[in-house]
Chain A
Amino acid sequence: MAQSGVQVKWRTAECRVRGAAHKLKDKPCQDAVKAIETPDGVILAVADGHGSERSPNSAEGAEAAVDVAIEQLQPFFKNCCKPPAKPNSIERFTLPDGLPRKITQEWWSRILFKETSGEDIPLNEDEKNEIFRKYGATLLAVVASAEYLVIFQLGDGDVLLVDEDGSINRPIERDPRLFADETTSLCLPEAWLSMEVKSIPISNNPPALILVSTDGYSNSFVSTEDFEQTGSDYLQAIRRDGLEAVSAKLEGWLNEASEQGSGDDITLGIICRADMAKGETER
């Protein structure tokens, strides 16, 4: 457990690799990842472009998704984590109204701007939806401050919270619609209604590690248990060798996972409590 009265600090590392099957078929990587570290906390976003024939620009859609998420969530720290009325009061945290909708609509605006080169071309809803579909992507994002985690998930992929003892929690329940390579997406009408948001006060019991990954990673393991074992293994490695050492290994590990497993693009974002990582507390 984090020491009482000591403010939690977070560090991030991230990596994405082009899928083994994508390399064989000369397809680009359609995942995207972006992370920022600020004095108030960190934000990490991961997106997975659909890659189907009807979504030929989904790599760009995924890039736009992580850009939008970071931009929309950045004001979060100042706007949402207000000074506490009482120590440890849950009232200090408020999630802005309509944030999932705002993220979705900003992504739509950006895609339309890209498609129309910024010109004001009248488009009906069907035409707009067809454009959005060309760029279809999922989005997972995590905001981690000293007091709260806020997790956003639209579409497939995994968010694992890893406790100090290596045990795993999934903060967002599995959406039963996400089966057999089907996914919800930013490109769907009213996509925000499918965006799961979970806010978790962490002052007394912050997780040691948060792993955010596209579905190519979990699909590479024989079982859910084999995948979830990554949680305790990453924690152990980060404790022993530090985040930088682990980060340097990520590309090789993710390539190995894609080659031996799903063949899909794989992206992994790591948010690590600084006091859990060798060498990070001195930074």
Chain B
Amino acid sequence: MAEDLQRPGGAMSSRPLHFIFITDCSGSMAGDKIQALNNAIREAIPHMREVAKDNPNADVLVRSVKFSSGAGWHIDQPTPVDQFNWVNLIASGVTDMGKALSLVAQQLHIPPMNERALPPVLVLISDGQPTDDYAAGLSALLNEPWGKKAVRMAIAIGDDADRDVLSEFIANPEIQPLEANNPESLVQNIKWVSTAVLKAASAPPSQLTNSSKSNNNVPIPQLPPAATGPAVW
């Protein structure tokens, strides 16, 4: 009987949205910068959960990679945002950004990624200049289909951050790195990428092929207002 008809097809699920923090833990971040970064990400998590709750058809999965002398996964499992807890970073060593980008590139390969995912969000946070071959890592990332289509945002901490490198990572002439010259602006910028950008990536409308200068399909929301307060970094 029709009443007994089962729903056709196999397992269903919302579309995965991978959100990856790529964080600089070099020696120059030691002290109040790394503490401010730990606090800012921790503060952003409840706001990310709110965005995820309002967009139930995006399965927001968060993880983090860190770089200093070498690079490694700080939180390696793609963790549902409801279960995601920040573990404090400790700063020391140099700035091997390229190795971190290579690690991210490996994870954006298909598989382990699948084609039905939503565009990933990558947030690169750095206060210095890469000490390794960052261009090789960036090239590996941008050669992955999902690396190219990812929403790539960057936050420059302090005057010494290499804005040219961060702009190369973003690869969108319409978007500049966000500036964080004190703890308040770092909180504001991390909150913005973790909420406004996450929200935009959660339900992107269809876009025409090759219509975007940035290669990604997520309309970037209006940038947060410029930071106020004294520049301490």
Contact = CB atoms under 8 A, between A and B. Distances in A.
Interface string A220-233: 11110111011001
A188 B208 contact: yes
Interface stretch (A4-12, A99-107, A145-153, A252-260): A252-260
A20 B211 CA distance: 27
A185 interface: yes
A229 B8 contact: yes
A182 B205 contact: no
Contacts of A177: 209-210
A201 interface: no
A180 B208 CA distance: 11
Nearest to A50: B206
Contacts of B118: 181
A182 B8 contact: no
Contact of B13 (A25, A234, A261): A261
A262 B14 contact: yes
A95 interface: no
B9 A230 contact: yes
Contact of A248 (B2, B8, B149): B2
Interface in A213-248: 215, 218-223, 225-227, 229-230, 233-234, 237, 241, 245-246, 248
A226 to B, nearest CB: 3
Interface residues of B, number: 38
Interface in A241-279: 241, 245-246, 248-249, 253, 256-258, 260-264
B110 to A, nearest CB: 10
A183 B7 CA distance: 28
A48 interface: yes
A185 B2 CA distance: 38
Interface residues of A, number: 54
A20 B57 contact: yes
A261 B57 contact: yes
Given A226-B9, A261-B14, A52 B2 contact: no
B145 A180 contact: yes
A264 B58 CA distance: 11
B177 interface: no
B47 interface: no
Contact of A182 (B7, B54, B206): B206
Interface string A172-193: 0000011111111101100000
B2 A233 contact: no
A226 B5 contact: no
Contacts of B93: none
B57 A21 contact: yes
B3 to A, nearest CB: 9
B8 to A, nearest CB: 3
A261 B14 CA distance: 4
Contact of B146 (A180, A230, A241, A256): A180
B119 interface: yes
Contacts of A52: 205-207, 219
A226 B208 contact: no
B14 A253 contact: no
Contact of B116 (A24, A185, A218, A253): A218
A233 B15 contact: no
B9 A229 contact: yes
Interface in B127-149: 145-146, 149
Nearest to B2: A245
Interface string B175-214: 0000000000000000000000000000111111111000
B203 A263 contact: yes
Which of B5, B9, B145 has most A Cβ within 10 Å?
A: B9
Interface in B59-76: none
B103 to A, nearest CB: 21
A227 B210 CA distance: 27
A241 B208 contact: no
B31 interface: no
B51 to A, nearest CB: 13
Interface of B: 1-2, 5-15, 54-58, 114-116, 118-119, 145-146, 149, 203-211, 216-217, 219
29 contacts: A24-B56, A52-B207, A177-B209, A178-B209, A180-B216, A181-B118, A181-B207, A182-B206, A182-B208, A184-B208, A188-B208, A219-B116, A220-B13, A221-B12, A225-B10, A226-B12, A227-B9, A229-B8, A233-B6, A241-B1, A241-B2, A245-B2, A248-B2, A253-B7, A257-B7, A258-B57, A260-B12, A261-B12, A263-B58
The 9 A-B residue pairs whose C-beta atoms are closest, nearest first, are A263-B57, A226-B10, A233-B8, A245-B2, A52-B205, A180-B149, A230-B9, A51-B205, A50-B206
